[in-house]
Amino acid sequence: MRELIILAGGFGTRLKHLLNEDPKPLAGVAGKPFLHYLLQYLQTQSIDRYIFSLNYQAEKIIEYINQEFAHLNSIFVVEPYALGTGGAIAYASQHCTTQNFYVVNADSYFEIDFSELEKKSKLLNSKLVLASKQVLHPHRYGTFSSTEEGLITAFKEKQAITHGWINAGIYYISDKNIFDNCPEVFSFEKQILEQKTEELKIAHCEFDSFFIDIGIPEDFHSANQIFSEQKKEELIQTSRNRCLMLDRDGVINVLRKSDYVKSLSEFEFKKNLLIHLAKIQAYFGRIVVVTNQQGIGKAVMTEAQLDNIHEYMVDQMRTYGITVDKVYYCPHLASENCNCRKPKPGMLDAALKEFTEIDPKKSYFVGDSVSDVEAAKRAGVWSVAMVNPENQKQLEECVPNLVILSFDELIPKILEFEEEN
Protein backbone atom coordinates (compact mmCIF):
# COMPACT_ATOMS: atom_id res chain seq x y z
CA MET A 1 0.00 0.00 0.00
CA ARG A 2 1.32 3.47 -0.92
CA GLU A 3 0.49 5.90 1.88
CA LEU A 4 1.09 9.64 1.83
CA ILE A 5 1.23 12.21 4.62
CA ILE A 6 0.30 15.71 3.47
CA LEU A 7 1.56 18.42 5.81
CA ALA A 8 -1.22 21.01 5.75
CA GLY A 9 -1.12 22.54 9.22
CA GLY A 10 0.96 25.66 8.70
CA PHE A 11 -0.17 29.15 9.66
CA GLY A 12 0.95 30.91 6.47
CA THR A 13 2.21 33.93 8.40
CA ARG A 14 4.02 35.53 5.44
CA LEU A 15 0.90 35.23 3.26
CA LYS A 16 -1.65 36.25 5.89
CA HIS A 17 -2.63 39.46 4.08
CA LEU A 18 -3.37 37.45 0.90
CA LEU A 19 -5.28 34.52 2.35
CA ASN A 20 -8.69 36.00 3.18
CA GLU A 21 -8.54 34.18 6.54
CA ASP A 22 -8.11 30.82 4.80
CA PRO A 23 -5.36 28.32 5.72
CA LYS A 24 -2.42 28.41 3.31
CA PRO A 25 -3.27 25.17 1.41
CA LEU A 26 -6.64 26.74 0.50
CA ALA A 27 -5.05 29.96 -0.79
CA GLY A 28 -6.82 31.01 -3.97
CA VAL A 29 -4.56 30.42 -6.98
CA ALA A 30 -5.95 31.15 -10.45
CA GLY A 31 -9.51 30.70 -9.15
CA LYS A 32 -8.98 27.46 -7.20
CA PRO A 33 -7.41 26.51 -3.86
CA PHE A 34 -3.73 25.64 -4.22
CA LEU A 35 -4.55 22.25 -2.72
CA HIS A 36 -6.68 21.51 -5.80
CA TYR A 37 -3.63 21.52 -8.09
CA LEU A 38 -1.56 19.49 -5.66
CA LEU A 39 -4.20 16.77 -5.28
CA GLN A 40 -4.82 16.65 -9.03
CA TYR A 41 -1.14 15.82 -9.49
CA LEU A 42 -0.90 13.43 -6.54
CA GLN A 43 -3.68 11.31 -8.00
CA THR A 44 -1.29 10.39 -10.83
CA GLN A 45 1.08 8.76 -8.32
CA SER A 46 -1.02 5.71 -7.35
CA ILE A 47 -1.57 6.82 -3.78
CA ASP A 48 -3.77 4.37 -1.88
CA ARG A 49 -4.28 6.39 1.29
CA TYR A 50 -3.99 10.11 2.03
CA ILE A 51 -3.21 11.17 5.60
CA PHE A 52 -3.74 14.90 6.12
CA SER A 53 -1.71 16.35 8.97
CA LEU A 54 -3.66 19.41 10.15
CA ASN A 55 -3.57 22.14 12.74
CA TYR A 56 -4.52 25.72 11.83
CA GLN A 57 -8.14 25.92 10.64
CA ALA A 58 -8.25 22.16 10.20
CA GLU A 59 -12.03 22.17 9.86
CA LYS A 60 -11.86 24.23 6.65
CA ILE A 61 -9.48 21.79 4.99
CA ILE A 62 -11.53 18.80 6.12
CA GLU A 63 -14.68 20.38 4.71
CA TYR A 64 -12.95 21.13 1.38
CA ILE A 65 -11.57 17.60 0.98
CA ASN A 66 -14.91 16.01 1.86
CA GLN A 67 -16.69 18.19 -0.70
CA GLU A 68 -14.24 18.24 -3.60
CA PHE A 69 -12.17 15.06 -3.17
CA ALA A 70 -14.54 12.74 -1.36
CA HIS A 71 -13.46 9.88 -3.64
CA LEU A 72 -9.99 9.82 -2.07
CA ASN A 73 -9.25 7.37 0.71
CA SER A 74 -8.46 10.10 3.25
CA ILE A 75 -8.05 10.39 6.98
CA PHE A 76 -7.48 13.58 8.95
CA VAL A 77 -5.02 13.82 11.82
CA VAL A 78 -5.32 17.06 13.80
CA GLU A 79 -2.38 18.02 16.02
CA PRO A 80 -3.39 18.73 19.63
CA TYR A 81 -1.11 21.79 19.36
CA ALA A 82 1.74 22.86 17.07
CA LEU A 83 4.20 19.96 17.04
CA GLY A 84 6.79 21.35 14.62
CA THR A 85 7.51 19.77 11.25
CA GLY A 86 9.07 16.66 12.76
CA GLY A 87 6.43 16.22 15.42
CA ALA A 88 3.69 16.59 12.82
CA ILE A 89 5.15 13.82 10.62
CA ALA A 90 5.79 11.51 13.56
CA TYR A 91 2.27 12.08 14.94
CA ALA A 92 0.63 11.42 11.56
CA SER A 93 2.84 8.38 10.88
CA GLN A 94 1.12 6.57 13.76
CA HIS A 95 -1.84 6.24 11.40
CA CYS A 96 0.21 4.60 8.62
CA THR A 97 -0.52 0.91 8.22
CA THR A 98 2.94 0.15 6.83
CA GLN A 99 6.47 1.05 7.87
CA ASN A 100 7.14 3.04 4.70
CA PHE A 101 5.33 6.14 3.49
CA TYR A 102 5.73 9.39 1.55
CA VAL A 103 5.51 12.96 2.82
CA VAL A 104 4.69 16.16 0.90
CA ASN A 105 4.18 19.78 1.90
CA ALA A 106 0.79 21.26 1.03
CA ASP A 107 2.25 24.62 0.05
CA SER A 108 4.60 23.45 -2.73
CA TYR A 109 4.13 21.78 -6.11
CA PHE A 110 6.73 19.51 -7.70
CA GLU A 111 5.78 17.00 -10.37
CA ILE A 112 8.00 13.98 -9.82
CA ASP A 113 7.75 10.21 -10.11
CA PHE A 114 7.37 8.93 -6.53
CA SER A 115 8.67 5.51 -7.58
CA GLU A 116 12.12 6.97 -8.22
CA LEU A 117 12.46 7.86 -4.53
CA GLU A 118 11.66 4.32 -3.50
CA LYS A 119 14.14 2.92 -6.05
CA LYS A 120 16.88 5.18 -4.71
CA SER A 121 16.07 4.06 -1.15
CA LYS A 122 16.51 0.40 -2.07
CA LEU A 123 19.62 1.06 -4.16
CA LEU A 124 21.47 2.91 -1.39
CA ASN A 125 19.82 1.21 1.60
CA SER A 126 18.64 4.66 2.66
CA LYS A 127 15.91 5.11 5.25
CA LEU A 128 15.04 8.59 3.99
CA VAL A 129 15.19 9.91 0.43
CA LEU A 130 14.23 13.44 -0.51
CA ALA A 131 13.35 14.90 -3.90
CA SER A 132 15.84 17.55 -4.97
CA LYS A 133 15.65 20.38 -7.48
CA GLN A 134 18.42 22.51 -8.94
CA VAL A 135 17.54 26.19 -8.61
CA LEU A 136 19.09 29.61 -9.10
CA HIS A 137 19.93 31.67 -6.02
CA PRO A 138 18.70 29.07 -3.51
CA HIS A 139 19.21 31.31 -0.46
CA ARG A 140 15.59 30.79 0.64
CA TYR A 141 16.00 27.08 1.04
CA GLY A 142 19.54 26.17 1.95
CA THR A 143 21.42 23.47 0.06
CA PHE A 144 23.35 20.26 0.71
CA SER A 145 26.39 18.38 -0.49
CA SER A 146 26.29 14.77 -1.62
CA THR A 147 28.24 11.92 -3.12
CA GLU A 148 28.02 11.14 -6.81
CA GLU A 149 25.53 8.33 -6.22
CA GLY A 150 23.25 10.58 -4.16
CA LEU A 151 24.07 10.06 -0.47
CA ILE A 152 23.87 13.40 1.32
CA THR A 153 27.00 14.26 3.29
CA ALA A 154 25.89 17.56 4.87
CA PHE A 155 23.07 20.08 4.87
CA LYS A 156 24.20 23.68 4.50
CA GLU A 157 22.77 26.80 6.06
CA LYS A 158 21.02 29.34 3.85
CA GLN A 159 23.65 31.31 1.99
CA ALA A 160 23.96 33.72 -0.92
CA ILE A 161 25.10 31.37 -3.68
CA THR A 162 24.12 31.51 -7.32
CA HIS A 163 23.26 27.89 -8.01
CA GLY A 164 22.50 24.75 -6.00
CA TRP A 165 20.41 21.68 -5.22
CA ILE A 166 17.63 22.16 -2.69
CA ASN A 167 15.39 19.91 -0.66
CA ALA A 168 12.07 20.28 -2.51
CA GLY A 169 9.93 18.95 0.36
CA ILE A 170 8.91 15.50 -0.86
CA TYR A 171 10.19 12.51 1.11
CA TYR A 172 10.15 8.73 1.05
CA ILE A 173 10.65 7.23 4.51
CA SER A 174 11.23 3.49 4.51
CA ASP A 175 11.06 2.96 8.28
CA LYS A 176 8.81 5.02 10.55
CA ASN A 177 10.87 3.87 13.53
CA ILE A 178 13.30 6.66 12.67
CA PHE A 179 11.11 8.81 14.94
CA ASP A 180 11.64 6.59 17.99
CA ASN A 181 13.10 8.53 20.91
CA CYS A 182 12.31 11.88 19.31
CA PRO A 183 10.62 14.49 21.52
CA GLU A 184 6.96 15.27 20.97
CA VAL A 185 7.70 18.68 19.48
CA PHE A 186 10.69 18.93 17.15
CA SER A 187 11.97 20.13 13.80
CA PHE A 188 12.21 17.55 11.01
CA GLU A 189 14.90 19.62 9.32
CA LYS A 190 17.11 20.00 12.41
CA GLN A 191 16.60 16.82 14.41
CA ILE A 192 16.24 14.37 11.50
CA LEU A 193 17.78 15.71 8.32
CA GLU A 194 20.74 17.55 9.81
CA GLN A 195 21.48 15.43 12.88
CA LYS A 196 20.84 11.97 11.43
CA THR A 197 22.26 12.43 7.93
CA GLU A 198 24.81 9.63 8.21
CA GLU A 199 22.85 7.36 10.57
CA LEU A 200 19.84 7.15 8.23
CA LYS A 201 21.96 7.25 5.07
CA ILE A 202 19.82 10.13 3.86
CA ALA A 203 19.87 10.43 0.07
CA HIS A 204 18.44 12.64 -2.61
CA CYS A 205 16.90 11.95 -5.98
CA GLU A 206 17.33 14.61 -8.67
CA PHE A 207 14.42 15.90 -10.74
CA ASP A 208 14.32 18.80 -13.20
CA SER A 209 10.55 19.20 -13.43
CA PHE A 210 8.71 22.40 -12.55
CA PHE A 211 8.77 23.43 -8.88
CA ILE A 212 7.05 26.23 -6.99
CA ASP A 213 6.62 26.99 -3.29
CA ILE A 214 3.90 29.54 -2.47
CA GLY A 215 5.39 30.39 0.92
CA ILE A 216 6.23 34.00 0.06
CA PRO A 217 4.09 36.64 -1.71
CA GLU A 218 6.30 36.79 -4.81
CA ASP A 219 5.94 33.08 -5.53
CA PHE A 220 2.26 33.15 -4.58
CA HIS A 221 1.67 35.75 -7.31
CA SER A 222 3.76 33.69 -9.74
CA ALA A 223 1.61 30.64 -9.02
CA ASN A 224 -1.47 32.61 -10.03
CA GLN A 225 0.05 33.12 -13.47
CA ILE A 226 1.45 29.63 -13.84
CA PHE A 227 -1.78 27.80 -13.00
CA SER A 228 -4.03 30.13 -14.95
CA GLU A 229 -5.63 28.08 -17.73
CA GLN A 230 -6.89 31.30 -19.29
CA LYS A 231 -3.34 32.64 -19.57
CA LYS A 232 -2.11 29.39 -21.07
CA GLU A 233 -4.99 29.35 -23.54
CA GLU A 234 -4.19 32.90 -24.57
CA LEU A 235 -0.59 31.87 -25.13
CA ILE A 236 -1.64 28.94 -27.32
CA GLN A 237 -4.08 31.12 -29.28
CA THR A 238 -1.24 33.44 -30.26
CA SER A 239 1.14 30.56 -31.02
CA ARG A 240 0.94 31.07 -34.81
CA ASN A 241 2.98 34.26 -34.47
CA ARG A 242 5.40 32.85 -31.93
CA CYS A 243 8.76 31.28 -32.72
CA LEU A 244 11.01 29.33 -30.39
CA MET A 245 14.58 29.75 -31.57
CA LEU A 246 17.12 27.34 -30.13
CA ASP A 247 20.87 27.30 -29.97
CA ARG A 248 22.12 23.74 -30.37
CA ASP A 249 25.24 22.79 -28.39
CA GLY A 250 24.57 23.08 -24.66
CA VAL A 251 20.85 23.69 -25.22
CA ILE A 252 19.63 20.74 -27.30
CA ASN A 253 22.59 18.40 -27.00
CA VAL A 254 25.29 17.93 -24.40
CA LEU A 255 28.14 20.37 -24.96
CA ARG A 256 31.49 18.81 -25.82
CA LYS A 257 33.98 21.07 -24.08
CA SER A 258 36.79 22.28 -26.35
CA ASP A 259 35.49 20.07 -29.13
CA TYR A 260 32.78 19.81 -31.79
CA VAL A 261 30.05 17.25 -32.35
CA LYS A 262 31.47 15.68 -35.49
CA SER A 263 29.44 12.47 -35.80
CA LEU A 264 26.23 10.82 -34.62
CA SER A 265 28.15 8.91 -31.95
CA GLU A 266 29.14 12.24 -30.39
CA PHE A 267 25.63 13.72 -30.43
CA GLU A 268 23.74 13.25 -27.14
CA PHE A 269 20.43 14.93 -26.33
CA LYS A 270 20.38 16.69 -22.97
CA LYS A 271 18.51 14.79 -20.26
CA ASN A 272 14.72 15.14 -20.52
CA LEU A 273 15.09 17.69 -23.34
CA LEU A 274 12.70 15.87 -25.69
CA ILE A 275 10.08 15.39 -22.97
CA HIS A 276 10.15 19.08 -22.05
CA LEU A 277 10.04 20.33 -25.64
CA ALA A 278 7.14 18.02 -26.45
CA LYS A 279 5.15 19.65 -23.64
CA ILE A 280 5.72 23.20 -24.92
CA GLN A 281 5.45 22.53 -28.66
CA ALA A 282 1.84 23.78 -28.76
CA TYR A 283 2.83 27.25 -27.55
CA PHE A 284 4.92 28.01 -30.63
CA GLY A 285 3.92 28.11 -34.28
CA ARG A 286 7.53 27.65 -35.36
CA ILE A 287 10.65 26.08 -33.89
CA VAL A 288 14.01 26.74 -35.52
CA VAL A 289 17.58 25.90 -34.55
CA VAL A 290 20.29 28.56 -34.87
CA THR A 291 23.84 27.37 -34.37
CA ASN A 292 27.46 28.41 -35.00
CA GLN A 293 29.45 25.53 -36.51
CA GLN A 294 32.90 26.80 -37.34
CA GLY A 295 34.18 23.23 -37.13
CA ILE A 296 33.40 23.19 -40.85
CA GLY A 297 35.57 26.24 -41.43
CA LYS A 298 38.33 24.56 -39.45
CA ALA A 299 37.94 21.44 -41.62
CA VAL A 300 37.40 19.12 -38.64
CA MET A 301 34.09 18.04 -40.19
CA THR A 302 32.25 18.42 -43.48
CA GLU A 303 28.88 19.98 -44.22
CA ALA A 304 27.66 16.52 -45.20
CA GLN A 305 28.56 15.22 -41.72
CA LEU A 306 26.78 18.18 -40.11
CA ASP A 307 23.69 17.63 -42.26
CA ASN A 308 23.64 13.99 -41.18
CA ILE A 309 23.73 15.02 -37.51
CA HIS A 310 20.93 17.54 -38.00
CA GLU A 311 18.79 15.06 -39.93
CA TYR A 312 19.11 12.63 -37.03
CA MET A 313 18.35 15.36 -34.48
CA VAL A 314 15.22 16.52 -36.32
CA ASP A 315 13.98 12.95 -36.86
CA GLN A 316 14.38 12.07 -33.18
CA MET A 317 12.54 15.22 -32.15
CA ARG A 318 9.74 14.40 -34.57
CA THR A 319 9.15 11.06 -32.82
CA TYR A 320 8.23 13.10 -29.73
CA GLY A 321 5.84 15.31 -31.72
CA ILE A 322 8.35 18.17 -31.96
CA THR A 323 8.50 19.84 -35.36
CA VAL A 324 11.68 21.74 -36.20
CA ASP A 325 10.90 23.95 -39.20
CA LYS A 326 14.49 24.68 -40.14
CA VAL A 327 18.07 24.44 -38.92
CA TYR A 328 20.23 27.49 -39.62
CA TYR A 329 23.97 27.15 -39.18
CA CYS A 330 27.03 29.30 -39.75
CA PRO A 331 30.03 27.33 -41.08
CA HIS A 332 32.41 30.27 -41.11
CA LEU A 333 35.44 30.97 -38.95
CA ALA A 334 35.11 33.72 -36.36
CA SER A 335 37.91 35.58 -38.16
CA GLU A 336 35.80 35.85 -41.32
CA ASN A 337 33.51 38.34 -39.56
CA CYS A 338 30.42 37.16 -41.44
CA ASN A 339 26.95 38.48 -40.63
CA CYS A 340 25.52 35.04 -39.88
CA ARG A 341 27.83 34.09 -37.02
CA LYS A 342 26.42 34.91 -33.59
CA PRO A 343 26.55 37.41 -31.88
CA LYS A 344 25.59 38.95 -35.22
CA PRO A 345 21.90 38.40 -35.97
CA GLY A 346 22.10 37.09 -39.54
CA MET A 347 20.63 33.62 -38.91
CA LEU A 348 17.82 34.97 -36.71
CA ASP A 349 17.06 37.66 -39.29
CA ALA A 350 16.89 34.96 -41.97
CA ALA A 351 14.31 33.02 -39.96
CA LEU A 352 12.18 36.14 -39.44
CA LYS A 353 12.37 36.89 -43.16
CA GLU A 354 11.58 33.33 -44.25
CA PHE A 355 8.65 32.81 -41.88
CA THR A 356 6.88 36.14 -42.32
CA GLU A 357 4.11 35.41 -39.83
CA ILE A 358 6.57 35.41 -36.92
CA ASP A 359 6.24 38.34 -34.53
CA PRO A 360 9.67 39.10 -33.01
CA LYS A 361 8.02 40.46 -29.86
CA LYS A 362 6.33 37.11 -29.29
CA SER A 363 9.42 35.05 -30.03
CA TYR A 364 12.23 33.77 -27.80
CA PHE A 365 15.79 32.67 -28.50
CA VAL A 366 17.21 30.19 -25.98
CA GLY A 367 20.98 30.02 -25.78
CA ASP A 368 23.76 29.25 -23.34
CA SER A 369 26.32 31.91 -24.26
CA VAL A 370 26.75 35.67 -24.20
CA SER A 371 26.81 35.68 -28.00
CA ASP A 372 23.35 34.05 -28.04
CA VAL A 373 21.92 36.75 -25.78
CA GLU A 374 23.52 39.47 -27.89
CA ALA A 375 22.22 37.95 -31.14
CA ALA A 376 18.68 37.89 -29.75
CA LYS A 377 18.90 41.53 -28.73
CA ARG A 378 20.20 42.56 -32.16
CA ALA A 379 17.44 40.62 -33.95
CA GLY A 380 14.72 42.12 -31.72
CA VAL A 381 13.53 38.87 -30.15
CA TRP A 382 13.48 38.06 -26.42
CA SER A 383 16.62 36.44 -25.04
CA VAL A 384 16.46 33.38 -22.77
CA ALA A 385 19.68 32.30 -21.04
CA MET A 386 20.04 28.57 -20.31
CA VAL A 387 22.38 28.67 -17.34
CA ASN A 388 24.62 26.22 -15.53
CA PRO A 389 27.29 26.70 -12.84
CA GLU A 390 29.97 27.45 -15.45
CA ASN A 391 28.15 30.09 -17.50
CA GLN A 392 25.72 31.66 -15.04
CA LYS A 393 27.76 34.67 -13.96
CA GLN A 394 28.63 35.73 -17.52
CA LEU A 395 25.07 35.25 -18.75
CA GLU A 396 23.47 37.17 -15.92
CA GLU A 397 25.93 40.04 -16.43
CA CYS A 398 24.76 40.48 -20.03
CA VAL A 399 21.16 40.86 -18.75
CA PRO A 400 19.00 38.41 -20.72
CA ASN A 401 15.23 38.85 -20.61
CA LEU A 402 14.71 35.44 -18.98
CA VAL A 403 16.94 32.95 -17.18
CA ILE A 404 16.12 29.22 -16.99
CA LEU A 405 17.80 26.02 -15.88
CA SER A 406 15.75 23.72 -18.11
CA PHE A 407 12.85 23.91 -20.55
CA ASP A 408 10.24 22.91 -17.96
CA GLU A 409 10.60 26.48 -16.63
CA LEU A 410 10.14 28.23 -19.98
CA ILE A 411 6.34 28.57 -20.21
CA PRO A 412 5.91 29.65 -16.56
CA LYS A 413 8.66 32.24 -17.06
CA ILE A 414 7.06 33.49 -20.29
CA LEU A 415 3.69 33.81 -18.57
CA GLU A 416 5.24 35.93 -15.82
CA PHE A 417 7.32 37.97 -18.26
CA GLU A 418 4.44 38.80 -20.58
CA GLU A 419 2.18 39.69 -17.67
CA GLU A 420 4.77 42.21 -16.49
CA ASN A 421 5.54 43.56 -19.95
Residues designated as active site? 247, 249
Q: How far apart are CA 21 and CA 32, in angstroms?
A: 15
Q: How far apart are CA 399 and CA 385, in angstroms?
A: 9
**What phi and psi, each to the nearest 5 degrees, are found at residue 284?**
-130, 130
Residue 15 and residue 27 in contact, taking contact as beta carbons nearer than 8 Å: yes
3-class SS at 290?
Answer: strand
Amino acid making up residue 122: K
Pick from 1, 100, 115: nearest CA to 48: 1
Long-range contacts of 65-73 (CB under 8 A, 24+ apart): 68/36, 69/39, 72/39, 72/43, 73/48, 73/49
Q: How far apart are CA 240 and CA 152, in angstroms?
A: 46
What contacts 251, CB < 8 A, 6 or more positions away? 270, 366, 367, 368, 386
* Strands, E assignment, 140-196: 144-146, 152-155, 163-173
What one-character DSSP code corresponds to residue 73?
Answer: -
What one-character DSSP code corresponds to residue 269?
Answer: B
Distances in whole angstroms, Cα of residue 223 to Cα of each of 13, 107, 218, 392: 18, 11, 9, 25
Pairing of strands 28-29, 32-33: antiparallel
* CA 415, chain centre distance (Å): 15
Q: How far apart are CA 150 and CA 241, in angstroms?
A: 43
Q: How far apart are CA 184 and CA 173, in angstroms?
A: 19
